Amino acid sequence: QTEQALRESEVRLQLAMDAGEHGFWDYNVDTGDVFFSPRYNTMLGYEPGEIPMRFEAWVEMVHPEDRKTVVPEVLHFVEIAKPFLVEFRMKCKDGSWKWISGRGKSFEIDENGVSHRAVGVHVDITEQKRAEEALRASEKSLARSRKMESLGLMAGGIAHDLNNILSGIVTYPELL
């Protein structure tokens, strides 16, 4: 009965992770070993188990520009045993980049406050990032359109005022 309950619990966890499209990781701080769930691999285009189960493998997959800030930030939060949430790009098997939202928390903290384990999830937020970029581009385009509209209104106003002045100049000699 206990084994059956354990299997059912594992199935529930797997279904929940798949439904949320979460890739799970479990990092042994002392050894540098990391367990990456099958979904973690497949979200980046790899076969389950294809990514080496080492912290260094994750570091190498992080975009070089993001690596400078994200890796020290994650290590800092693991060290001080605080939950963290970071966004960064990871390299897929086909060479493309995906935006990832990484969330984690430290566990197995000893009497000195040193964390020996961190666990968390990665979620692919590439489509969200693309939508945000499209929104920013639309906002810029709208701002440019509004500037052009303002210039058009101003030019129309100046032309109208100039026409009023010129009509007086043109009409007055005719009256004379």
Whether 31 contacts 53, CB under 8 Å: no
User: What pLDDT score does 176 carry?
Assistant: 66
Q: How far is CA 38 from CA 20, 31, 44, 106, 167, in A?
A: 14, 21, 10, 22, 80
Residue 100: helix, strand or coil by DSSP? Answer: strand
The pLDDT tens digits for 93-115 are: 999 999 999 999 988 888 888 88
pLDDT at residue 145 greater than cutoff 80: no
Say what percent of the chain tops pLDDT 70.
Answer: 97
Q: DSSP readout, 29-51?
A: TTT-BEEE-HHHHHTTTPPTT-S
- Angle at the Cα of 151 (from 146 to 156), degrees rounded to 5? 125
Q: List the one residue out of 21, 17, 19 whose CA is nearest residue 124.
A: 21
User: What pLDDT score does 101 carry?
Assistant: 94
The pLDDT tens digits for 122-135 are: 999 998 888 778 77
Global model pTM greater than 0.85: no
Q: Which residues lie below 8 Å from residue 115, measured CB to CB, with a gap of 6+? A: 29, 78, 79, 80, 81, 106, 107, 108, 109
Torsion of CA 128, 134, 139, 140, to 10 degrees: 130
